[in-house]
Amino acid sequence: MELLKQDGVAFEAVFSDVVMPGMGGIALAKLLRARFPNLPVILTTGYSHVLAEDTEHGFELLQKPYSAEQLSRVLRRVTGAWRTRSGRM
């Protein structure tokens, strides 16, 4: 959060694991959405129970294991939509 500064424009997306010490990835993503509503958030997890527990969180979710191509495809999609919304090229 500290690196995002006040407006979040330094980043095109945030990529986080769902399971982390302290604040979990879904809680982080919800906080980011509240503070920076247009900033794309991609979450990843290797735990299928996380998917079953919170399928309606509304964030991109990349299931582990994933390939570089899968990650690249998701990043292109979310950052392309972000650029369109923010007027960046």
Q: Which domains does the chain have, with CATH numbers?
A: 14-54+63-86 (3.40.50.2300)
Greater confidence (15 vs 50) lies with 15
Q: What pLDDT shows up at residue 74? A: 92
Q: How far apart are CA 46 and CA 63, in angstroms?
A: 6
Q: How far apart are CA 28 and CA 49, in angstroms?
A: 18
Buried/exposed 36-66: b ≥16 CB within 10 Å, e otherwise: beebbbbbbbeeeebeeeeeebebbbbeeee
3-12, 51-60, 74-83: which range is least confident on average?
A: 51-60
Tell me the pLDDT tens digit for each residue of 16-68.
998 888 998 889 999 999 998 888 999 998 876 655 565 567 788 888 999 99
Q: How many CB atoms lie within 10 A of CB 27?
A: 13
Question: 86 pLDDT exceeds 70?
Answer: no
Cβ within 8 Å of residue 83, ≥6 positions away: 12, 89
Q: What is the pTM of this model?
A: 0.78
**Confidence at 1, pLDDT banded by 50, 70, 90:** confident
Amino acid at 72: S
